[in-house]
Structure 1
Amino acid sequence: MGKKKKEENKDVPTSKCPDNTAFKQQRIPAWKPTLTPESVLSSFFIIGLFCLAVGISWIVATTNVKEIWITYSDNCSYCTQLRENSSNSETPCSCFVQFSVKEKIEGDVFFYYGLSNFFQNHRRYVASRYDAQLLGRNVTTKESIEKGSYCAPFSAYNNGTPMAPCGAIANSMFNDTIRLIYQPEPTSPVVEVPLLKTGNTWWSDKNVRFSNPKPKDNLVQAFAGSARPPYWQKPASALDSLDPNNNGYINDDFINWMRVAALPSFRKLYRRLSRVNQFSDGLPAGNYSFIIEYNFPVSRFGGKKHVILSTLSWCGGSNMFLGIAYTVTGAAIVLTAFAMLAVHLKKRKPKKTFSVR
């Protein structure tokens, strides 16, 4: 008898209907808000006042950010002509840009370089990289680079030597060298401002997205069999001659450059002020000058180069856009709420009164 029942149960098709429970049959009680004039108007006023508070506080914080912006490509025009007229692209040229700081800049000071009219967001430019290579793999294998990346034509030289790193992004890395000099008085001796080269990148970039090939303690051997990109002046293993831990693919300047910008005019963090000795509280007032070793050409694409000294606030650097956006949005919401309140008071029905006889 048991076998017959099992055979009969096999012939019965299993039901695909959900179980007869309150959750699966959607019988759980639901909350549906009742939109009354009081709830709608109070929501509009709360959201509008919140946006206004955020926008005004953002604008106040941004206004307190101190920033010095200098376009040095105009002041170094003779270097541009020298580099373009010279047959040797590595012809050295240095220029000086003087400026003064009238008031002391307290706190942490960040040093940026900026480029305008440089389209890092171009589709083919963004794709011209090899992430497997930047993780320390396939450094000297030409075939793997050509098959696994879009680095061409910056993947290998005519003699077959692969480039490390490959791609248009790496090849066009910003390579101007900028030093900051401080002179309190015209007759006083000059002092070079101490700047930090490391600690300027995201932790995830330094420890996850980029890694040097093995053996990591001997980068000359690790990069053996490869060559630097054609526009580089130094190989990847010798980007920082003073700090051996800041070379290869984990060099801070290289990592910041490889994080492409979304707009054609952008800035990237170059250095941070080392708050030691007379600069422990920030940049003192006085005369300053930039000593720039001019290497990065911009005249061919009609661009400009800038140096920016800036402090930061809780909302970042000097950028009014979000503050203005929050303020305008909040003001529009509050004005809409007042208009809705006026319409409600004008169009509402009077309460009926009953007289007792």
Structure 2
Amino acid sequence: MKKLFVSGMVAFSLIIGAAGVSAAEGQGIKVLVDDKALTFEVQPYLAEGNTLVQFRTAFEALGLKVDWDAGKQEVTGVNDKTNVKLVIGSTTAWVNGKEIQLEVAPVIKDNVTFIPLRFVGEASGREVSWDGLSQTVYIAKTDQQIKHVVQRQVDGSALEDVNAVLATIDPASPVYESTKAILTQTFALYDLAYDLKISDKVEVDKDNASVAFTQTTKKVKGPDFENTQVEAVALLKRINGEWKTSQTVINKIDYLKADQYKEETITLPTDEQSKILAVIERDRQLSEKEDFDSLTALYDSSYPDIAQKMIQGKQLAAVFELTFTNTSVKIIKATTNEAYVRVQSKISKVSGPDFRNFNSDDMTVLKKQTDGTWKISNGIPLSISFIE
């Protein structure tokens, strides 16, 4: 039955896996180029949905040498690969001699020359994204844009800002609505701390991309919560020119508990050890047979939420037929009345809807009964690794 509990937790984790900064009232537009914040003497502003900025600061940040021809009212930015020319009041611009139409023309406002930032950023070979919640323009190469989206998800979670997280997710994703509901509930119950490490390797294929990351989540305050370190891959799509996550594929969940259970010398008589191991095997067999009446008899009444977990196990069994293979079973510490058994196993689907086979590593705690038998009193997950 313990295996069915783990399978149920995995299903829930996959739902969750499918997570900017909120704008302060009155805060101005921020511009970041390659993760460096730009400082403007005059604040950028929005016009017809476009961000306009002082031309010199923007050009220099993008590695372009600046030239201003007052007579022709022309702004030019040049480096060894790019030649950009704009004319004040004109929606026609030139990139390496090729004519380009702008959505909004450069202007002179209060004796300051402003240019459309998105056009210049893209002309420099970078991508431009806009975070409306934090009023931030982010200009960077494609790989960095993709990593930035994943970082924004975790930043939004750290701030408990549901809208900030959702702003990074494709609204057409099947997990969009469920993610909204889960985050709303989670943020109401917990204060959590996050640590994120994103791989430097980003895979891009036209408008689809993927990047691996490792996220550690720990409880700061709230009811019972499983701290985790998750290894996953974020799948992204480019939608209307900007990257959004469409799915998160979890590869491993580490519950950060393995170090708490060190192997000790076992002095328990061999016949008692055999009884314990027999219960572990019986649990595996009955879980596979979906014999819940017999399974219930293996569990001590002190097992946390045993009645609810039996119901969950039955619900899972109604959908899937699974096989459970124990690859390693070892008693790591024991007294005359309690034993800890580390069980490593493989859970595979025989029939049912989509299900990712996985390896589980967990600690099964058994308590000796007054009649001399052993029953399972707790199950402690250590890690789950999905099988490709």
TM-score (norm 2): 0.20
Larger helix percent = 1
Higher-RCO chain (CA-CA 8 Å, sequence separation at least 6): 1
TM-score (norm 1): 0.22
Larger strand percent = 2
